[in-house]
Amino acid sequence: MYIAVIPIKGNINQRMQRSIVPIIRYASARKKVAGAILHINSGGGDAVSSELIYNECVELSRKKPLYAYIEGIGASGAYWISMASQKIFAFNSSIVGSIGVISIMPNISNFLQKIGIRVDTIKMGMYKDSLSPFSTDDHGKEIIENIIRESYDRFVELVSNKRNISMEDMKEIAQGQVFSVGESLRRKLIDASGTLKDVVDDISLKTRGVKKVRFMEPKVPVFQRLIQGISSAMIGELSDTLNQY
């Protein structure tokens, strides 16, 4: 029996989703896995991928103890995923939060006008070019804002329910800012601070004393492993060459 340590690290996107979801499902189905820890160091990413990973973690938490450990950054979509756990720990110097939703749409229409370039758009449907960087009007902006608002409201409601924080307090917390560990404790965003060992000691109370851990790393495609190996070898040779001078 062992505790599975599942990495949620780096940008959350479809690639992470495809690599992490099988690990979560494996931990959920494998009888030898007594519990799991989400090992988080991520500033967030794609809202859809974050929610899909969260949903898989919820299924895992229904079967086995699931804790989250923020070691570095646990923000935005990464914090959303941590909501699936029964307890959230954070390393002393970590930062937590960034509860909010953002959509960045570059618009270069004014720049093009200044340099004398005109972009003609042929479309069927008034809002078809709402996300175009060449659009000269804001007729679709309200639609995008409504979509973002729905995601934001769902995020805020989730944190309020899972962390037992009033919606009144959430109005102040959910402005996209990040918090220190001390402030996160005060605002009830996390349960405790400590190290991974502290998390293992705590979850072992739920796993009948099991403390053995196994780090579950995503499988790396053969081609990617080959490229990484070549890159490492080249860097090593360059380092050896430099050390001669």
Would you please indicate which residues are annotated as catalytic (active-site) residues? 76, 128
Phi, psi (deg, nearest 5) at residue 218: -60, 150
Q: How far is CA 139 from CA 7, 24, 111, 169, 194, in A?
A: 41, 42, 20, 34, 49
Which uninterrupted H or E stretch holds 90? Answer: strand 87-90
What is the torsional sign of CA 143, 161, 92, 19?
negative
Helix (H, G, I), strand (E, B) or coil at 25: helix
H or E stretch including 163? helix 141-163
Q: What span, in angstroms and rounded, lies between the C-alpha atoms of 146 and 162? A: 24
What distance in Å separates the CA atoms of residue 199 and residue 91, rounded to the nearest whole number?
Answer: 10
Question: Measured between alpha carbons, how far is residue 76 from residues 46, 55, 72, 102 in Å?
Answer: 10, 16, 13, 10
CA 54 to chain centre: 9
Tell how strand 2-9 and strand 213-215 pair up.
Answer: parallel
Residue 125 — φ and ψ, nearest 5°? 120, 125
If we measure between CA atoms, which residue out of 83, 101, 97, 89 comes closest to residue 162?
Answer: 83
One-letter amino acid identity for 137? D
